[in-house]
Amino acid sequence: MTTIVLDAMGSDNYPDVDVQGALMAAQEYDLDLILVGDEKQIREKIASHLQNKNLPIRIVHAPEMLTMDDKSDDLVRKARHKDAQNSMAIAIDLVKNGEADAFVSAGNTGAAMVTSLFRLGRLKGINRPGLAPTFPTETGKCLVLDIGANPDCKPRNLVEFAIMGSIYVEKVWGVTKPKVGIVSNGEEAGKGSSLVRETYPLLEELDINFTGNVEGKGVIRGEVDVAVTDGFTGNVMLKTAEAVAKLLTNKIKETIMKGNLLTKIGGLLLKPALGTVKEALDPSDVGAAPLLGVDGLVFIGHGSSDANAIKNAIRVAKEAVETDVLDSMREAIEKK
């Protein structure tokens, strides 16, 4: 049975949505769950949302939690201390000790990355882990990495991202020979920053389906299944995409509400179609992004996650466990 450990104190609205999402996952998926956090608060939330049902959920008490205020040396101390009592450290140790198969949190992204790195370590052969969210595209979806863990990268890092991203998409998404591209300002070989130009020939040598440079618009068109880039560029892409999606949604609503009667009637007729579009762009459907490169399965969601996002983050973690993606990654990295 797959066991997922959830940082129940992670989201902005902890532990309410975290517990709700966990209960939804426990009822919908065949798995065991461990909730880590303030036991009193967690039990109160479970009692308020669950009536007369026994679900495969265990609670592990953590008296402390990491927040957005934890930074620099203070964060490192709390992340690596042997006897750390915060919910992230205790939860990740459960993965390290084999009591859980994967860790999920909607908490402080930096804290989750640092704690995972210190307590799990890197996969052998990996220099830097990368955070890999899913971008919606015209043809489906694309895994983009890195989106912030590594603002400054070297060619070696992008090579590692390409290997790990390709394996993840093939194993977890079921895509045969996923197309891998390197984000650049032009499609032709030879274009791009010095990092892109130096990395390009190294990617050509790999045993992956490398298709060359891909522009930002090409990512959205679905030209590749995996897009590799440095964390600075990836983060700008992610934040811009999120902002544009929100802008378009708000502008459409604003135009309909300010329009005449015919415009409002048209808006009502379009509502089902707009709902479908909104659903396709909704990050809660994915739930969380994998942190690829640490020696364990770690999934990090957005702080504003709702219960549905938490549920889906747990689902994605379960899929990663059951496809043995971590072992496949280890094997591929050792070979290459």
Looking at the structure, do residues 73 and 27 belong to the same domain, yes or no?
Answer: yes
Global confidence as pTM = 0.89
Looking at the structure, do residues 81 and 191 belong to the same domain, yes or no?
Answer: no
Looking at the structure, do residues 42 and 87 belong to the same domain, yes or no?
Answer: yes
* 255 Cβ contact list (under 8 Å, min separation 6): 263
CA separation for the pair 80, 74 (Å, rounded): 10
Q: Is 8's pLDDT higher than 70? A: yes
Looking at the structure, do residues 304 and 263 belong to the same domain, yes or no?
Answer: no
Looking at the structure, do residues 102 and 182 belong to the same domain, yes or no?
Answer: no
CATH of the domain at 13: 3.40.718.10
Answer whether residue 333 is part of any domain: no
Looking at the structure, do residues 142 and 109 belong to the same domain, yes or no?
Answer: no
CA separation for the pair 149, 161 (Å, rounded): 12
Looking at the structure, do residues 144 and 277 belong to the same domain, yes or no?
Answer: yes
Residue 217, burial from CB neighbour count under 10 angstroms (0-12, 13-18, 19+):
exposed
Q: How many CB atoms neighbour CB 302 within 10 A?
A: 20
CA separation for the pair 199, 218 (Å, rounded): 19
Note the pLDDT tens digit of each residue in 290-310. Answer: 999 999 999 999 888 999 999
Q: Return the pLDDT at 230.
A: 95
Q: How many CB atoms neighbour CB 87 within 10 A?
A: 31
Count up the domains in the chain and report the number: 2
Q: Is 281's pLDDT higher than 60? A: no
Looking at the structure, do residues 242 and 290 belong to the same domain, yes or no?
Answer: no
Looking at the structure, do residues 139 and 212 belong to the same domain, yes or no?
Answer: yes
Looking at the structure, do residues 267 and 232 belong to the same domain, yes or no?
Answer: yes
Q: What residue numbers bound the domain in which 77 lies?
A: 3-130+286-324
Note the pLDDT tens digit of each residue in 137-169. Answer: 999 999 999 988 888 999 999 999 999 999 999
